[in-house]
Amino acid sequence: MTITKIAFVGAGSIAEAIIAGLLESRFLQAKQITVSNRSNMDRLFYLQQTYNVTVTQNKQELIEGADLIFFVMKPKDVVEAVSSVKEYITEQQLVVSLMAGVSTSSITGLLQKNTPIIRAMPNTSAAILKSATAISPSIYAKKHHVELVKKVFETVGLVTVVDEEQMHAVTGLSGSGPAYIYYVVEAMEQAAREIGLDEKTGKALILQTMIGAAEMLKSTTKHPSALRKEITSPGGTTQAGIETLQSYEFQQALIQCIVKATERSRELGQTLTNLVKHRK
């Protein structure tokens, strides 16, 4: 299947990251991408000026001729957003949903037609072609639909196919994951200032430390705990730091962070499922 046009229903940060990645990888040209949102023309103008994509508030113009239709709105806005475009969507098109917690069956119920749907959970690292994306097909999506969407997201990073029930866990782990890392970096930057390093030096050291640690994890079969122990000498500086993290139950806090995000994804999904049932 050749892609001639992709439509984005929603123009937030994850939509921008995917657009930037698709263009950076040269998988698509800007003229093949059309973007719309509910009412924020300033945001659409920014995307048009930055990426040279087509923008419109005309939903028929947005949807007609699109091979892939990306739903990239907040879960709370999905009913209104789908209602605004569903009359133009056909069963020959392919919908790709990037909404946390929203099941493919819920979207099918809102569309009221058997359009194939692929649920995807990338992250904002797609903008630099480093996303970790999981995808899951609806009952109406065929193998060639999965392969097409897999090919699309492989242009912006790593892709894995999972059962839809696992998408809640993916959302909590890798979908929201970059924010957890940024939060840690925020703390490290503040610590750098407190221990007397200037901002530029501190940032450079932190970023290279993050990059180096990630590359080490990718290049070795050693467990993270083994790598940690290799640089934790008894009575040394690293041990002092690790013991402080342990005293604040850092690992447990991070585990609970991911668990809570996963639970929130399930809650969002159940709320929408109930809403769709009520509408029927």
What per-residue confidence (pLDDT) applies to 272? Answer: 78
Q: Are 211 and 185 in contact (CB under 8 A)?
A: no
pTM over cut 0.85? yes
With 60 as the cut, is the pLDDT of residue 280 above it? no
Q: Can you list the positions of beta strands (E) in the chain?
A: 6-9, 33-36, 54-55, 68-71, 94-97, 117-121, 131-137, 157-161
Which domains does the chain possess? 6-170 (3.40.50.720), 177-259 (1.10.3730.10)
With 80 as the cut, is the pLDDT of residue 277 above it? no
pLDDT category of residue 278 using cuts at 50, 70 and 90: low
Residue 158 CB neighbours (<10 A): 14
With 90 as the cut, is the pLDDT of residue 246 above it? yes
With 90 as the cut, is the pLDDT of residue 268 above it? no
User: Could you say which DSSP state residue 38 is in?
Assistant: S
Averaged pLDDT for residues 102-109: 92
Q: Can you tell me the distance from the alpha carbon of 101 to that of 179, in angstroms, rounded to the nearest whole number? A: 18
Average pLDDT, the chain: 94
Q: Are 43 and 36 in contact (CB under 8 A)?
A: no
pLDDT category of residue 188 using cuts at 50, 70 and 90: very high
With 90 as the cut, is the pLDDT of residue 1 above it? no
CA distances for 195 relative to 54, 191, 203, 230, 269, angstroms = 49, 6, 13, 25, 44
Write the pLDDT tens digit of every residue in 252-267: 999 999 999 999 999 8
